Amino acid sequence: MATESSVSPNPFEVAQRQLDEAAQVMKLDPAVHELLRWPLRELHVTLPVKMDDGTTKIFHGFRVQYNDSRGPTKGGIRYHPDETIDTVRALAAWMTWKCAVVDIPLGGAKGGIICNPKEMSQGEIERLSRAYIRQVGRILGLEKDVPAPDVYTNPQIMAWMADEYAFLKGYNEFGVITGKPLALGGSAGRGDATARGGVYCLREAGKALNIDLKGATTAIQGYGNAGTFAHKLGAEILGLKVVAVSDSKGGIYNPDGLDYEAVFAHKQETGSVIGFPGAKSITNEELLELDVTVLIPAALESVITAENADRIKAKLIAELANGPTTPDADKILHEKDAYVIPDFLCNAGGVTVSYFEMVQNAYDYYWEESLVHERLDKKMTAAFHAVHDAAKEYGVHNRMAAYIVAVSRVAEAVKLRGWV
């Protein structure tokens, strides 16, 4: 069983290093710093699952509750063959900072199962998901810890999990899991919430930096949930002119702009953006280095590195992906005055609407989509300005500023509770 990360660098060590750097700048109390370097608790579970061929397979899973000083913990569940406890720990730490930076009353958590859902039937995935809840359910709850979808998990899996949890409790408690289908207590506006939150941040960055975003050339890497909605909403809300998009097969570029409906239909039809009529083919590396005003990495981690950061020309970089920029690249981008909206601020719209979903489930009263948008806008705008102002006050880049804002809020909570 892979319990420690073989990924280099180890993601949990990266998460601890980022905290260490922020702690130094903000002169964090040493005991608070040491407390925040570790998860408060974690559960390792072993899951026997009957497979379709009649055999029983044993899976291993985790749930890490990193810090619940500001409220119940919150974080997705990943199904991945390379899942490790260190990856889950790192993601749980980042969820803690993400919830704090948007100032929602939640802590951070994450879960994972080592498995390859691409090689499993729907029945096997359902039995695995129910087995996970039978083991982990005892530490979950609307008031304790609330999972959500993540890599290779989806609303159907959340529905099975909510159902299994209802059997454990003897009644429905929909708020125990978010990202559910609408028919089972999901929230309006959850589907595009991540991109929408990022677009609200971009709008505020445009105002703060005096950059006119109407017609501003934009490149988007990744054309999944985050990337497609960034294309749609960036054009609709800000009037961005998206000139390049890409997916795992490659990218397309048209200096006259790419129409969202047409590109989306092409991707639906062919499985990729490549081959879109009238556009030139480019590589994912070339897309990052295009001479555009706005760059939106919305695919993978570590795509902007010390090797290519100097060639990035965008003035504004909105990180919808988690971890697209390495720490060395951050410094280079800061020195060349590129303005980065860091991942755990830029993509916090998803968890913010998940929090709205929990609130609606608790009251059993559901909001109009327009109200979800309005409340999301308020949260994202306030978070953006808190980070923008902290960057100026401390003279640091935005990622460090986001850490300072988030960590100060968690530090205040642990002190007020008398933990340190």
Mapped onto helix, strand or coil, the DSSP state of residue 219 is: strand
If one asks whether residue 111 binds ligand NAD (CB under 6 A), the answer comes out as no
Minimum distance from CB of 282 to ligand NAD (Å)? 11
The answer to whether 181 and 156 are in contact (CB under 8 A) is: yes
Q: Which of 350, 361, 388, 390 binds ligand NAD (CB under 6 A)?
A: 350
Q: Which of 113, 131, 220, 226 binds ligand NAD (CB under 6 A)?
A: 226
Binding part of the chain for ligand NAD, among 12-20, 67-75, 298-306, 387-395 by CB under 6 A, reads 298-306
Considering only the stretches 154-162, 216-224, 330-338, 361-369, report the one whose residues sit in contact with ligand NAD under the rule CB under 6 A: 216-224
Rounded to the nearest whole angstrom, what is the least distance from the CB of residue 126 to ligand NAD in the complex? 21
315 is catalytic: no
Q: Tell me how far, at minimum, the Cβ of 224 lies from ligand NAD, in Å.
A: 2
CA distance 336 to 402: 19
Please name the helix (run of DSSP H) or strand (run of DSSP E) that holds residue 321, with its range, or none: none
Residues in the chain: 420
* Cis-peptide, bond into residue 9, ω within 30° of zero: yes
Q: Which span sits near ligand NAD by CB under 6 A: 10-18, 110-118, 243-251, 392-400?
A: 243-251
Q: Is 354 in the site for ligand NAD (CB under 6 A)?
A: no
Enter the tokens of residue 391: 């960057």
Find the shortest distance in angstroms from Cβ 230 to ligand NAD.
9
Is there binding between residue 274 and ligand NAD (CB under 6 A)? Answer: no
Q: Indicate the residue among 10 and 322 with the shorter CB distance to ligand NAD.
A: 322
Q: How far is the CB of 286 from ligand NAD (least distance, A)?
A: 12
Region binding ligand NAD by CB under 6 A among candidate stretches 101-109, 246-254, 275-283, 376-384: 246-254
Q: Is 51 in the site for ligand NAD (CB under 6 A)?
A: no
Closest approach, Cβ 343 to ligand NAD, in A, equals 7
**The only residue of 245, 298, 386, 387 in contact with ligand NAD, by rule CB under 6 A:** 298
For residues 216 and 267, give the distance between their C-alpha atoms in angstroms, rounded to a whole number: 24
Q: Work out whether 137 is an interface residue with ligand NAD (CB under 6 A).
A: no
Residue choice 10, 18, 65, 246 for contact with ligand NAD (CB under 6 A): 246
Catalytic residue of the set 74, 98, 110, 379: 110
**Residue nearest ligand NAD, CB atom distance:** 224
Tell me the C-alpha distance between 195 and 179, whole Å: 15
Shortest distance, position 68 Cβ to ligand NAD, whole Å: 21
CB contact set of 357 (below 8 Å; sequence gap of 6+)? 175, 178, 179, 180, 185, 186, 187, 190
Give the whole-angstrom CA distance, residue 150 versus residue 157: 11
* CA separation for the pair 36, 29 (Å, rounded): 11
Nearer to ligand NAD, 233 or 414 (CB): 233
- 178 contacts ligand NAD (rule: CB under 6 A): no
Choice from 125, 176, 321, 333 touching ligand NAD (CB under 6 A): 321
Helix (H, G, I), strand (E, B) or coil at 314: coil
Residue at token pair 């986001």: 402
Element of type H or E holding 387: helix 369-394
**Residue 177 DSSP one-character state:** S
Instruction: Give least dist CB 341 to ligand NAD, A.
Output: 13
Question: In this chain, which stretch among 274-282, 316-324, 325-333, 400-408 interacts with ligand NAD, using CB under 6 A?
Answer: 316-324
Residues 6+ apart with CB under 8 A from 15: 89, 90, 93, 94
> Considering the rule CB under 6 A, would residue 325 count as an interface residue with ligand NAD?
no
| Binding status of residue 320 toward ligand NAD by CB under 6 A | yes
Which lies closer to ligand NAD via its Cβ, residue 107 or residue 350? 350
Per DSSP, the residues of 234-300 read IIIII--EEEEEEETTEEEE-TT---HHHHHHHHHHHSSSTT-TT-EEE-HHHHHTSS-SEEEE-S-
CB 242 within 8 A of CB 287: no
- The site map against ligand NAD for 65-94 (x = CB under 6 A) is ------------------------------
The residue type at 382: A
Say how many residues touch ligand NAD, by CB under 6 A: 20
The string over 185-212, giving b where at least 16 C-beta atoms fall within 10 Å of a residue's C-beta and e elsewhere, is bbbbbbbbbbbbbbbbbbbbbbeeeeee
What is the C-alpha separation between 135 and 268, in angstroms, rounded? 38
Q: Which residues are catalytic?
A: 110
Q: Which residues of this protein are in contact with ligand NAD, per CB under 6 A?
A: 194, 221-227, 246-248, 284, 298-300, 320-322, 347, 350
